[in-house]
Structure 1
Amino acid sequence: MDEVCPVTVPSIEQEAARDLVRSREDCRGDLMRAWHRLSKLLLRHRIVYYGGNAWTGVHDGWLCRQRLESPAAQLALESDYETVQAVTLRRHRLDVAIAELAADSRYTPIVRRLGCLRGISTLTAFGLAVEIGDWTRFTGASIGPFVGLVPSENSSGQSRHQGPITKTGNSHARRLLVEAAWHHQRPYRIGKTMLDRWQLASPIAQARGDAGNRRLHRQWMKFIARKKRHPVANVAIARELAGWCWSLATLDDVGDLGDRPMTG
């Protein structure tokens, strides 16, 4: 009894979209490694950038002006720089392809509703949509365990001990939620980016997204007041964020605004 759980067999279209999202994630990792190699090469030659944020247009101009005394070292520098440029262009092509699919595909309604939450860009929303697939399989309480954001437990008799999160389930969706959760630490202000996303969603989705944004920021403030370690607090926020994402993904745009349970 209750030991067999229903699953959804992904369609060819969903598998293709998932491959695209994961290819972009692999590209992200490749770019970070390329950045690391280039910056550490310069650091070994005692060349440090002090002009502000790295990997911007200004930083790129600074990189182009660097010259090393050894011809071999200069060749290595140029090779690492070309790798950064090539991977950056590859990432851009993938971003464009994902944006086109997110704007005109079966995932478009979910992407637009998820975009009502802070930290959920088009890329993140599309990634969650294709990784989760059929959101109706879950509830606000079961979506967290599916992505491995619940504490592990080792209990015996009257003793109950909770450990780190399980990290079971879909690791790609978990990473997206954890990264998005950090955005809710900052004070909540409705800026132009959020307003532009809201314009693409229904008023009901906008209201639910606004409620979620306010709730998640309040939860962050409570954790900070309790001096909770930020990584631990952020995982808890990500777990609740998963519930809000489920709420929006399964939202009936013509329904009412009655409260739904977010997480267990």
Structure 2
Amino acid sequence: MFTERTSVGLDVHARSVAAAAIDGVTGELVQAKLTPSHEHIRSWIQELPGPAAVTYEAGPTGFGLYRHLTAAGVRCLVAAPSKLQKPSGDRVKTDAKDAVHLARLLRLDEITAVAIPSADQEAARDLVRAREDCRGDLTSMFRLAAG
């Protein structure tokens, strides 16, 4: 059950973050364009009427933001992208709309969260992926040289 006053949706990218917050008491919607700095995101969230809960989609940026926010005492859910309900009728997709949609789903308690790996597990997974990428690159180079 959603108990926080403010629900926050973040559309996180490597170079920018679209943020939307819905105040459960007043219904006010606040939107912002943030840098991907964890400190910047946390400070913006802490300026909102609290307490706040946050969600963002799992993706290539990893789970560092989740760890940073939870360490600061902010409840954070990392949403499974394949389990998100899609907004009906709206064919124009923007980062800002995605952030608002995430905030609304969080407010309705409709987020299916992914399991968060430990920092060590995530680092090991990244290492394995990098190794596999190198192996694929080497195989391609050998095929080109032999061809």
Q: Which has the higher contact order (CA 8 A, sep 6+)?
A: 2
More strand by share: 2
More helix by share: 1
Please confirm whether the aligned pair reaches a TM-score higher than 0.5, indicating the same fold: no
The structure that has the greater radius of gyration is: 1
